[in-house]
Amino acid sequence: MIIDGLQCGHFDRNSFESLQKAGVGGVVVTCGFWEGTVESLDSLARWRDLVRENEDVCEIAATAVDVERIGRSGKVGVILGFQNSNLFEGRIRFVELFAELGVRVVQLTYNNQNELGGSCYEAEDSGLARFGKEVVREMNKAGILVDCSHVGDRTTLDAIEASQKPIAVTHANARSLFDHKRNKSDAVLKALRESGGVIGCAAYRNITGDEFCKSIEAWCGMVARTVEIAGIDSVAIGTDRSHNFTAPDYAWMRQGRWTRGIDYGAGSAARPGKAPPPDWFQTVEDMRVIPNGLRTVGFSEEEVAKITHGNWLRLYEATFKPREENKK
Amino acid sequence: MIIDGLQCGHFDRNSFESLQKAGVGGVVVTCGFWEGTVESLDSLARWRDLVRENEDVCEIAATAVDVERIGRSGKVGVILGFQNSNLFEGRIRFVELFAELGVRVVQLTYNNQNELGGSCYEAEDSGLARFGKEVVREMNKAGILVDCSHVGDRTTLDAIEASQKPIAVTHANARSLFDHKRNKSDAVLKALRESGGVIGCAAYRNITGDEFCKSIEAWCGMVARTVEIAGIDSVAIGTDRSHNFTAPDYAWMRQGRWTRGIDYGAGSAARPGKAPPPDWFQTVEDMRVIPNGLRTVGFSEEEVAKITHGNWLRLYEATFKPREENKK
């Protein structure tokens, strides 16, 4: 079974069927990039409808036990996540409400600095701000996993320090392996290792680089080198795969409403739009080659299990809001 | 005539009558601290009603010419301002809309870091962030004065650099005269001086200090020393006076919705609630002693005119959205 730490885009029935064929039993979906409270509630409500309409192939997963049960049954466990904390609109008390509505993963900030902390694309990273400290602690209590994928290194280190539970970098790579602002320093990876956190290795060409996109062996080789830095218990998969993504989606993801200008996000003027997927990852179904690829580069069965799903399950068990009936 | 660069609280008829008696012809009022878009629109709509209900004593002022005309007529010109940029909710295109609705002064951020920049109360100040640069330029175009009173020094210096028009510190003092996080470094004051910006000297005990609150002469002496640093063309008045402020207002101003804990803002555990007003400033009417106080400490008539209203009028002329009929 594979758990994917992050995917995005417009999921449809075909998305879930493709994930099933790929052996993906759990996936964190992106319910929002820039959306505020009401827009985020609307997104959650639409996700409920979508999952209900496709209940024979997917189910919303609220706990690690859910993910394992749903995935083992051959369906796709949908874990509700946000790539920004705009859903809270600055209100500390909203963290608990969104957790109760099923949200399990929230990124502190997306491509821009916000009231919580700094982003990887800003000129400077202030570190975790006052509201960020409050939100991290509140997410710990409410049962939401802290995600720092697009967050600046300094704020990420602060979040690891401030959090009473391990945190995630759901989708990024090691910067020492591919130099990109979106990737993480070895210092961050070592702090994840020491704190029980997890990084999901990305298979998005802009932040993975052509070399590691050439073949499944090349990509799994990158995973192996990431394990050398972060340790076998802190490395997992977070492909950053998008579904049915078109030009307006890239414009929303990158420019949102914060600029009238052009912003390339993880891309560049030379590659402004959709980056070609890795050579080995032309369709979502291609994810099925990952476990064998990991074996090919020398991982044992136990290690393959940790990377493909075990590490995420352990982290989810440690951080996700438990079901009410299991609480006392 | 006195123009006060910042007041806040719940204005009522008595507030306007007191300001009239004090010779205040223009005042920037605080339409919001933490309020988002809809709440800010509601606040603007309420301010319109309040001013309409008291049209014999006040009028909304949209331009420097308005302020001068209204003030000279013996009424109070109400300049609509916000102490935070939450009214835009991250949307660059909303700047223009709020300018059209009469907003003339917006602070980049209040007591916490946000998506625009750093605050004076954060441990670190990242400087002006990506969205902050966009908003400063947009405010320049739309005709809204950039206010950096609670903004961190580094972000303030960046804003002065990024802005194509001079900016304001509507209510703060020189930190070299009274050491408080809310006050501004000499570097900021010199940058204001060089760029044609203006600082409004505050008469709020927490950031003014007991010494300069003892008498009008003491406070005017502080103004004189501020002029030595920032120059006679860059110093004005921004009392930070609040109207009808009670405990829930302090809680909202300081804690807003960002923390369940206690935050003292400009106060402290030793002085958690309302700070006693300066000895010479027991009532709003007491502001009438300011012009003579400035004369007493040695300012000429021309200098008194600059400090009490001329510098603000020059800055408003340079930055406020002109009336449509005067545009071409």
pLDDT band (50, 70, 90) for residue B328: very low
Please give the pLDDT value at position B293. 98
Percent of chain A at pLDDT exceeding 90 = 97
Q: Where do the structural domains in chain A lie, given as residue ranges?
A: 2-326
Q: What is the mean pLDDT of residues A147-175?
A: 98
Q: What is the mean pLDDT of residues B297-312?
A: 98
pLDDT in tens, B212-226: 999 999 999 999 999
Is residue A326 predicted with pLDDT exceeding 70?
no
Please give the pLDDT value at position A169. 98
Please give the pLDDT value at position B323. 82
* CA angle, residues B89, B91, B97, in degrees to nearest 5: 95
Residue range B2-326, CATH number: 3.20.20.140
Of B112, B130, B260, the CB nearest to A112: B130
pLDDT in tens, A114-126: 999 999 999 999 9
From chain B, the residues in CB contact with A125 under 8 A are 126
pLDDT band (50, 70, 90) for residue B326: low
Q: What is the mean pLDDT of residues A288-299?
A: 98
Residue partners of B73: CB distance under 8 A and separation at least 6: none
pLDDT band (50, 70, 90) for residue B273: confident
pLDDT band (50, 70, 90) for residue B324: confident
CA distance A34 to chain B (A): 9
pLDDT in tens, A258-285: 999 999 999 999 998 889 999 999 999 9
Q: What is the mean pLDDT of residues B99-113?
A: 98
Q: What is the mean pLDDT of residues B290-312?
A: 98
Q: What are the backbone angles phi and psi of residue A145, rounded to the nearest 5°?
A: -75, 130
Is the Cβ–Cβ distance between B175 and B214 less than 8 Å? no
The two tokens of residue B286 are: 């007491």
Whether chain B has a CB inside 8 Å of the CB on A324: the answer is no
Q: Is A302 exposed, middle or buried (0-12, 13-18, 19+ CB in 10 A)?
A: exposed
The two tokens of residue B71 are: 């003030």
ipTM of this complex prediction, to 2 decimal places = 0.91
Mean pLDDT, all residues of chain B: 97
Which of B130, B157, B263 to mutate to probe the A interface, most A CBs <10 Å?
B130
Mean pLDDT, all residues of chain A: 97
Instruction: Verify whether the Cβ–Cβ distance A113 to B126 is below 8 Å.
Output: yes
Dist. CA A147–CA A156, nearest whole Å: 9
Dist. CA A316–CA A323, nearest whole Å: 13
pLDDT in tens, B162-215: 999 999 999 999 999 999 999 999 999 999 999 999 999 999 999 999 999 999
Q: What is the mean pLDDT of residues A17-25?
A: 98
